[in-house]
Amino acid sequence: MSGSGRFALGAVVLTMGNRPEELRALLESVARQEGEPVEVVVVGNGAPLPELPELPGGLRTVELPENLGIPGGRNAGIEAFGPGGRDVDAILFLDDDGLLPLTDTAERCREAFTADARLGIISFRIADPETGVTQRRHVPRLRAADPLRSSPVTTFLGGASAVRTAVVQEVGALPGDFFYAHEETDLAWRALDADWDIAYRADCVLHHPTTQPSRHAVYHRMVARNRVWLARRLLPAALIPLYLGVWVLLTLARRPSKAALRAWLGGFREGWATPCGPRRPMRWRTVWRMTRLGRPPVI
């Protein structure tokens, strides 16, 4: 708990400075949250920050001289709350073009973390603001047909989540070298291996316009490279070829365009040819735990 004895929530928002209206709307939705005000850190990721509103919980700003990518930017936001985020008990990570439509989301997070000392990460439900639809890829489990069902999960959605700062302090920050893609899974697997729990909460909602990740030019290369890095860093040696083999087959089954496939194969090669960071393979008991949760670390 924070020094006041209450469960203190912070929030980290990354921006490239190109969505000032959406950013302001998001910050105003954070300001409307019930309970203790949430202090916010806005990180300008290689871009100057636009004019920002005053917030009841306070506002800290960080302007990075270069774009460090999503994990690097979020790590800078964590450190703005003190080493390992020590000034707060948990941090909301929110996309700058998202919005919290409900006013009790912060309180739901506080209550969940307070009720379960081993709950380390909460993944929110992302819904389109116009249709209310949640895309299957935004439900962090294999059985994604019912997005309104909350459940334990083995990964989370980085731009719509809450992470207990004790998790970061114990297992380390997001992998900055990943830049984009799979950084949440890397943190999630390390958290699970340290016996923390992860929950998908359908009642914690972030409105976000429906988009496709492939809109990012780096998507296919980063996805492939970082998946190889993830396996090399965290999987037992026996599972690395199985995990990557399954993803090669799934990628081919999706019949990507020639350009996308070339980028993906280039990233796959890059993942083997470049340093992946320290290797800390998860325990086999963690593999079994993930299997029991419905998502063994082979898919």
The closest of 214, 199, 99, 116 to 157, measured between CA atoms, is 199
Asked, for residue 85, whether it belongs to a domain, the answer is yes
pLDDT interval class at 217 (50, 70, 90)? low
Give the pLDDT confidence of 229-275 residue by residue, as tens digits.
999 999 999 999 999 999 999 999 999 999 999 999 999 999 999 99
Q: Looking at 183, 211, 239, which one is the last position of a domain? A: 211
Concatenate the DSSP letters of all residues of the chain into one string: --TTSS--EEEEEEE-SS-HHHHHHHHHHHHT-SSSPPEEEEEEESS--------TT-EEEEEESS--HHHHHHHHHHHTTSGGGTTSSEEEEE-TT-B--SSSHHHHHHHHHHH-TTEEEEEEEEE-TTT----GGGSSSS--S-TT--EE-S---TTEEEEEHHHHHHH----GGG-SSSHHHHHHHHHHHTT-EEEEEEEEEEE-----GGGSTTHHHHHHHHHHHHHHHHS-GGGHHHHHHHHHHHHHHT---HHHHHHHHHHHHHHHHS------PPPHHHHHHHHHTT--TT-
Torsional class of 82: left (φ above 0), alpha (ψ -120 to 50), beta (otherwise): left
169 shares a domain with 50: yes
Torsional class of 162: left (φ above 0), alpha (ψ -120 to 50), beta (otherwise): beta
Q: Rounded mean pLDDT of the chain?
A: 95
88 shares a domain with 33: yes
What is the separation, in whole angstroms, between the first and last Cα of the chain? 36
More confident residue, 105 or 218: 105
pLDDT interval class at 3 (50, 70, 90)? low
Sheet holding 197-207, edge to edge: 59-64, 39-45, 9-15, 90-94, 160-164, 119-127, 197-207, 151-152
Asked, for residue 1, whether it belongs to a domain, the answer is no
- Provide mean pLDDT across the span 188-195: 98
CATH number at residue 95: 3.90.550.10
Q: Looking at 158, 177, 211, which one is the last position of a domain? A: 211
State the chain's maximal CA–CA distance in angstroms: 57
274 shares a domain with 149: no
Residue 16: pLDDT above 70? yes
Give the pLDDT confidence of 105-159 residue by residue, as tens digits.
999 999 999 999 999 999 999 999 999 999 999 999 999 999 999 999 999 999 9
Token reading at 91: 């941090």
Asked, for residue 151, whether it belongs to a domain, the answer is yes
- Provide mean pLDDT across the span 15-43: 97
- Percent of the chain past pLDDT 90, that is, above it, reads 93
Q: What is the pTM of this model?
A: 0.95
Report the alpha-carbon distance of residue 226 to residue 278 in Å, rounded: 14
Q: Looking at 188, 211, 234, which one is the last position of a domain? A: 211
Q: What is the pLDDT of residue 218?
A: 80
248: domain range? 214-292
